[in-house]
Amino acid sequence: MLSQTGEHGASSGKTKKMSAVQLYRSIIRNEGLIGLWAGNGANLLRVFPAKSIVFASNDFYRSQFSILYFGSSEACNRQSAQLPWTLAFLSGGLAGMSASAATYPLDLARGRITGKLAGPGGKKHYKGIANTVVLTAREEGVRALYKGITPTLLGAMPYEGIKIRNSRRFRVGISQVRG
């Protein structure tokens, strides 16, 4: 992340290229060993609710598409009745977009925490997840918590759509093989 943002040279005022080993040494020197895991807590805090939102909203979208396609959501729950792949894909994609929209401020916090090296003396601008969200909202406005969400949403649609559609198809195939 630091190589992507160019922050690795910010503490010295230069934007020189650093090797991975030099970057690790710089992080350890400025932040200590714990600095190698900067942003990991925000990522963990984001992943758990995001996945639960994906599964819950996928069930919701799937039932809505079942009502549209079959006339009732119960008809699709039968093993023999499967949603067409396009609707299964849309259900998963919309679920992924819902989860991304709901947890994006945590993703932004993770990126900001991870992408900022501490300056000399180990002082960091962001001191944690809540601090990052509050500082961002205070300094840049609440809308800044959703800065850059469009590419995330556009990426979530095919990613979750393909994943959920194929996992459901795989489970049906496995259950047919088992008998």
pLDDT above 80: residue 74: no
How many alpha carbons lie under 13 Å from residue 59 in its C-beta half-sphere?
7
Report d(CA 119, CA 21) in Å as an integer: 18
> Which token pair is 71?
């006339």
pLDDT above 80: residue 144: yes
pLDDT tens digit string along 7-54?
A: 544 444 555 677 888 888 888 887 788 777 766 776 777 788 999 999
pLDDT above 50: residue 99: yes
- Quick one: pLDDT band at residue 95, thresholds 50, 70, 90? very high
Q: What is the DSSP string of 9-26?
A: GGGGT------HHHHHHH
pLDDT above 50: residue 132: yes
| Lowest mean per-residue pLDDT among 23-27, 62-66, 113-117, 125-129 | 113-117
pTM exceeding 0.85:
no
CA dihedral 7, 10, 16, 19 (to 10 degrees): -50
Report d(CA 60, CA 78) in Å as an integer: 17
pLDDT at 77: 63
Domain spans, the chain: 20-147
Of the ranges 21-30, 114-123, 142-151, the best mean pLDDT one: 142-151
